[in-house]
Amino acid sequence: MKPLRLAKPNLWVALLSMISFGFYSCSKKDITFSKNIAPIIYKNCTPCHSQNGGAPFTFLTYSDVAQRAKMIAFVTRTHYMPPWPADKNYTHFINEKTLNENEIQLIQDWFKNGKAPGDTTDLKPPVYNAKISVLGTPDLIIPVPPVQILNDNSDRFYIIKIPYQLKKPQYVKAVEFMAGQPNIVHHANGHLLLYDGHTNPFDGKRIIETNDPNFESEFDALKLLNANGNKPERVHSAFNYLPSSFGVKYPEGIGGFLLSVNGTFVANDIHYGPSRKQMMDSSKLYVYFANKKPERPTYEIMLGTNGIAPIVPPLQIQPNTISKHTTEITIYNDISILTINPHMHLIGTQFKAYALKPNGDTIRLISIPKWQFRWQYFYTFTNPIKIPKGSIIRVESEFDNTKNNPNNPFTPPRLIGERNDHGGASMRTTDEMLQFIITYMPYQKGDEKIELNKN
């Protein structure tokens, strides 16, 4: 009798586990592309994996995704895609693209269980196209002088003068750089020079090819001075374009500047990636007007390389060392931070920025535990972050100049640092930079409640 009694509960356990296993595997088999996978892909992958989106293939239809399912399972499991180097457990930003563990598991299970399509008749792939601005129809389009792309598979850097002339001065809300060849144009940062009424912005060279992009040394060739020899007024970072970045327009009244009648944008270091095909790039600046003067103008603070706060210790990284560097600044008025841009080059490994309030509390800004040179964004907070006066904003960084760092451009390792022989640092990828750009506005009560993605 005894053995039987024992056998009974065992049988039940076996039966129960068969049933539950049955349910379990059945629910995994129920995972379909249409119901479970498409919403994840369309939200987090298709913005880049679409026509002209900068990624090598599109994820629009079932078959687009199914034929690469194995690779998709791999790149999501290893957190290689979607590329979002900022730690989402530290702080959040608009346009954040990350998958949670559940979503990653769903993709794995869907792949392992045969990639069921489900009912694909109702699928509506979202329309993304890097040639159509997320900001809508521009009020003015300024052509960027066309650049001939060669088929020799090499990187190239240019400084490009982008002049314009208007009938009357005009307030502007946002400027977006629209790459003509989004698969080749890697990045572009642009400043704006505002001329007095007598200067012809169309004088001078338009395009300079250089390995050391720094327009400060090209004022003569580009004829960037006012006709009377004075330096024109400037708007820094009038536009920024990064791989697969999307335009950001702050809510009405925040940010923007006045375009004078004569002026020029200068793309200071526009980087073209390697190409095997010869073609022309005709990029454009899309300009969005504002009806009136911005109520809340925005300003920029730049820490580190070329900025107002030094790097400690100076950024000279000895071969075969891992070294840590900081840069910090005290804030003397209450400010609201809108957007931040961390920047390092190849051997950077970690980046963290935060504010220390006078009472010792910390305000988190961003943590990038595994720096990836390939993915650099202008991160805009979901709501402005108030930094009270007397706070210190501090950046902590780490660089790995050993042979164990697969991103080290030199074997054996060499001294890598900022090169200061032009009175500024080199933009060359194989030199290093540590920079943190903060876009802010003076604080006003209620700023914390502004939703920066609503405009």
- Binding stretches for ligand HEC (CB under 6 A): 44-45, 47-49, 54-56, 68, 71-72, 75-76, 81-83, 97, 99, 244, 374
Strands of 260-378 (E only): list them.
Answer: 262-272, 279-281, 284-289, 299-304, 316-317, 322-330, 335-344, 348-356, 362-368
Nearer CB in complex with ligand HEC: 373/410: 373
Nearer CB in complex with ligand HEC: 59/443: 59
Nearer CB in complex with ligand HEC: 54/263: 54
Q: How far is the CB of 211 from ligand HEC (least distance, A)?
A: 22
Q: Are 92 and 281 in contact (CB under 8 A)?
A: no
Question: How far is 341 from 385, CA to CA, in rounded Å?
Answer: 15
Q: How far is the CB of 58 from ligand HEC (least distance, A)?
A: 11
Nearer CB in complex with ligand HEC: 53/417: 53
423: left (phi over 0), alpha (psi -120 to 50) or beta: left
Q: How far is the CB of 173 from ligand HEC (least distance, A)?
A: 24
Q: Which of 220, 168, 245, 230 is nearest to 195 (CA)?
A: 230
Q: How far is the CB of 179 from ligand HEC (least distance, A)?
A: 13
Nearer CB in complex with ligand HEC: 15/71: 71
Backbone angles phi and psi of 257, in degrees to 5: -160, 175
Nearer CB in complex with ligand HEC: 60/290: 60
Q: Which of 325, 322, 315, 314 is nearest to 408 (CA)?
A: 322
Q: How far is the CB of 55 from ligand HEC (least distance, A)?
A: 4
Strand partners, 262: 165
Q: How far is the CB of 139 from ligand HEC (least distance, A)?
A: 27
Strand partners, 303: 309, 436
Q: How far is the CB of 260 from ligand HEC (least distance, A)?
A: 35
Question: How far is 177 from 131, CA to CA, in rounded Å?
Answer: 10
**How distant is the alpha carbon of residue 256 from its chain centre?**
20
Q: How far is the CB of 414 from ligand HEC (least distance, A)?
A: 25
Q: How far is the CB of 76 from ligand HEC (least distance, A)?
A: 5
Q: How far is the CB of 223 from ligand HEC (least distance, A)?
A: 37
Nearer CB in complex with ligand HEC: 47/255: 47
Please state whether the peptide bond connecting residue 313 to the residue before it is cis, i.e. omega within 30 degrees of 0: yes
Nearer CB in complex with ligand HEC: 18/71: 71
Nearer CB in complex with ligand HEC: 127/166: 127
Per-residue DSSP letters for 153-222? Answer: ---EEEEEEEEEE-SS-EEEEEEEEE-SSTTTEEEEEEEEEE--TT--TT-S-SEEE-SS--GGGGHHHH
Angstrom distances, CA of residue 262 to CA of 199, 201, 202, 292: 7, 6, 9, 19
Nearer CB in complex with ligand HEC: 46/305: 46
Question: How far is 111 from 70, CA to CA, in rounded Å?
Answer: 7
Question: How far is 246 from 133, CA to CA, in rounded Å?
Answer: 8
